[in-house]
Chains A and B, each alone.
Chain A
Amino acid sequence: MTLTPTKPPQHPAPVEMDPPEDGPSVGERVASVFSTGFVAVWAVLVVLPLLWAVLTAFKSDQEILTDPWGLPQQWRLDNFARAWTEGNIGTYFVNSLIVVVTATVLVMLLGAMTAYVIARYRFPGRDVIYYTFVAGMAFPIFLALVPLFFVVKNVGLTATYLGLVLVYVAYALPFTVFFLTGFFRTLPGSLIEAALLDGCSHAGVFFRIMLPLAEPGIVSVGIFNFLGLWNQFILPLVLMPDQDKYVLSQGLVVLAATQGYRSDWSGLFAGLVIATLPVVAVYIVFQRRIQEGLAVGAFR
């Protein structure tokens, strides 16, 4: 690799606090200030809309229209109460929780079982099964949308929690199996042999020894699945036409549309804040793990 100097070589500055690539030239200084400045500006641009949403959730509708910048004169908690009851956010919130938590737990269990068998046993068709799951990650969901609607209808599960849960599980399986298969392969096989010799059953080995050992991988994928399914919109849109069983993402869209003529902006923003709380909680608790898991393990 050849590097043509754009300017005469600089002598190294011995007392620089900054790392050496911060050349001492004026141009470099300016570049440094600028790039650091851009980073700070972006941080503001990320935080500002979020902060504005939270403040707006506490304001009166009058304030929202006349004073979009200011702090709320009075912190109105009743916006949240109104969103929860009148806006039905409470119902949608509970629906989301039921569907997403059940689906996440189920997909982790079934995914871990599948991945363990694929990673640790030799049997005919193993590779076919594995690559069928991997291929499932490559296809966009909207390709399956129309037939899926009729499949769910034909098994009588349209507009049921169970239908949505099973579909969520099925579409979360490929990544879960893919990730956990790699994970189970890294665990020591000698433990399995020893436990089997001691008279432990195959299932016993999995539940008592391997599953606890795989906990870090399961937590990473579990968080990923929880956030992904909480975010899911197009599947419930097609499979959950019953408004009493809407999940949050559907409910918020309805609320955003109806707020237009009721002009209950504050209620809408309170609803947005409520819907974000579980995500914020998971994000704060598992912050480092989310970034590691997502950055390393691709996403869908």
Chain B
Amino acid sequence: MEDSKAIIEAIIFTSEGPVQVDKIKEVLPDVEKDEISRLLKELMEEYEKRGGGFLLLEVAGGFQFRTRADFSYWINKFLKGRPAILSRAAMETLAVIAYKQPVLKSEIDRFRGVDSGSSLKGLLERKLVRIMGRKDVPGRPIMYGTTKKFLEVFNLKDLSELPTLKELKDLHEEA
């Protein structure tokens, strides 16, 4: 049983995307889910304590190794890539969708006071936003929501990790 932790570590290391507890359970059917979660927590703490170049983090409902944000400059230099940056318009559109999903384009436009068509298109192309279906009203307009990739890109466990709109309002008033 001592090996479980090492096995979990190896699974996460091998996986391309974040690994869910359920997936680990499939590989280790004898280990209880609570135990897996506990071991994951231990692993996360170990990496944190070690203070190395990367950490084990919980993102998009799973676990994944990620570099420490402190080293972004060097990693960008190594990858010779320009970091992907979203425009302010795109960020605003994304914020409205994240908080108001499922949301219609007309609602996004109203919240922002401008047409969000091109931002929306860009977000769909980058797979940060997806079509969630059509609303059952005349014209059957499309409803939009965020994707799992959105959680991955924004380093979120799930949507509840976002500050609530009320918290944001208070935050804004303090500033």
Whether chains A and B associate is no
